[in-house]
Structure 1
Amino acid sequence: MANLQLKAIKKSYDNVNVIHGIDLEIKDGEFVVFVGPSGCGKSTLLRMIAGLEEITQGHLLVDGVDMTHQPATERGIAMVFQSYALYPNMTVRGNLSYPLEVSKRPKAEIKQRVELTAQKLHLNELLDRMPRALSGGQRQRVAIGRAIIREPRIFLFDEPLSNLDAELRLEMRIEIAKLHESLGNTMIYVTHDQLEAMTLADRMVVLRQGVIEQVGAPLALYHNPDNMFVAGFIGSPRINFMAADVVATTVGQVQLRIEELAIDSLIMTVQQRLNEGEKVWLGVRPEHFVSADGADCHFSSTLTFAEHLGHTNYLYVDYDQEKTLVIEQRELEKHTNGDSVTFGINAQQSLLFAQSGERIR
């Protein structure tokens, strides 16, 4: 197990800057997940930690020891790749034992560690198979086993489940969570899958264009985002953003008008000072729309499409001509396109953002 510190880490390719000064501490035994849109730098950052990409500027410390310029083999870090990266001409046993053979470990020790690793990952019956004879989930378990057998201080996972189908992803997600619980190692995991991030992470690191937007526990980021980007990125279906105007202010409160929904009396509690006439964004997650009864305000609109999923409904209703609102309705009543539907908004469950995108608290 190990503590990892990134201090002012930057990465450039020629004159193109891709990582713009990352400061982050990952505690001993923590499971941290990097998330963000494609091209945000999450895999590049992971490869810099692993030693597979050179750090242009800044320092990387493992347990207080500067590893910035140390080769990958001396960092005590093991990486599991998206593509499995198994040796096709070796059996499962050979793939597991190879890292120890390269390190010239005694044969008895190699045999014992291969058996223990295989037992831990339920690979005992597969030890004499070739990779081509394995399913995707089995190959991924072998790839994880090859990392475990080295007994690294830190595990890195680069989108390890993206090649698997939905059912296998669920199984492997549970296996990785159990693995972290049993080993207790520091783990860093890159994914574009929010479900993986929300269920696995102790903390999530949300990246955009090579900078950290916010770090926190999954539910903290979901319920208390710092800006519109984090609010919009975390959650599926994504949060609804509605343009609003401040029509009146008092100490600690503002009154909002949402013209497209014919709402002019939504009162919200705020800590910072806003001005009459100021334009803001109101954010409401699909599950936070409520029935009109007892809501702070309500609106009616036309249903354009409905997804009936059995356990819940997602309703898409007209908003601002070119846009739609996504509303989750747990009551399993059937709706038809073109129906008029009425829903309410509660201020306490809504989020407010400035025109710049920053959170208004």
Structure 2
Amino acid sequence: MKLDYNGNSNLEYNLFKSVGARMTSTFYGYSGFYGEYCLRSSLEYIYAKYLDYMKIAWTYEQKTYVLSNEVRYKPDFLLETGEYVEIKGIFNYQNDLPKIQRFESEYNAKVTILQEKGLRQLIKDTPFVFEHLKQEWKSHAKVRGMDNFGKRNPMYGVAQSESTKAKIKAKANARFADPSFKEKFLNSPKRKAYHESRKGKKTGALVPRFLLTCEICQNSFEVIQHKASKRRFCSKHCSIQAQHGKTSTTNSDIQTLAHTFALDNYETLLSVKLNKLKELFQPLSDSIQKEHNILDIRTICQIVTGKPCSRKELLYYLREYAQKVRGATAKNKAVELEDKKPLG
């Protein structure tokens, strides 16, 4: 979508080049009150501040229009000039553009689409700073993010006027005056499920479950169908035990693999550089992963040495083991790189 700004604060978009495109923008979804209106984002707040600075009268979401395809559309801003302005952080061309075009043709109106880039250009000649206004809106006392439930909702505790209540009541009565709508509402599956759930009854079809046996504790447990092929353990506790090799059988097998690795790579253990330990122990890690499905090198180090340690301490442990078997000097320090030796 190509947006061009001109001196009349109008944004023209090239429909021939923009269909199917998508312009992304930073998310500013913080709603709150500005004057008598509840704005839905900091972009709308910045534009409202600009209009007030330019002394342009405006209203916000004043009316909802019903289009010929029964889609409802409520423009953001209506200016005193009769022009509509739609503020968009992210503009969905596939869904929003046809709706706006239909509204323009059916109601003989003009809608200006204003995004972040155009808004920044719009306030360039004003005393406002875009980032300052954005932070000002977020720090506003009644501004809330997308978590709009309960007291976090800007409309929480705001009482509706008697005229608004009368409009809601009249609209509800008009809808229920239609026999087809009333029958559809009373027989709605969602309505029935809601009332059943209020009585403590489970609603909906029960998903079939399968009985499995835990590989660690041998207890039986149930899972739904799509998890039956993946679940091996009944709980997180058993899963951690399997992952970290807490059984004596697994510990002894891994220690045997490590000792064999130390004897086969004894010369390399004596001359390896500390920045090459990961490459040195990679074959050992791969074999343990293949046979015991343990991935974490820290877990492997703990099983082999009997205490939490690093690769460096694992290196010294394997050297000491090799010394006992071969009678070699295992206390030789690993070779340090020249640029890692202390100065002086």
TM-score > 0.5 by shorter chain: no
Which structure's residues are more often strand, by fraction? 1
Which structure's residues are more often helix, by fraction? 2
TM-score under structure 2 normalisation? 0.20
Flag the structure with more relative contact order, 1 or 2, with Cα contacts below 8 A and sequence separation at least 6.
1
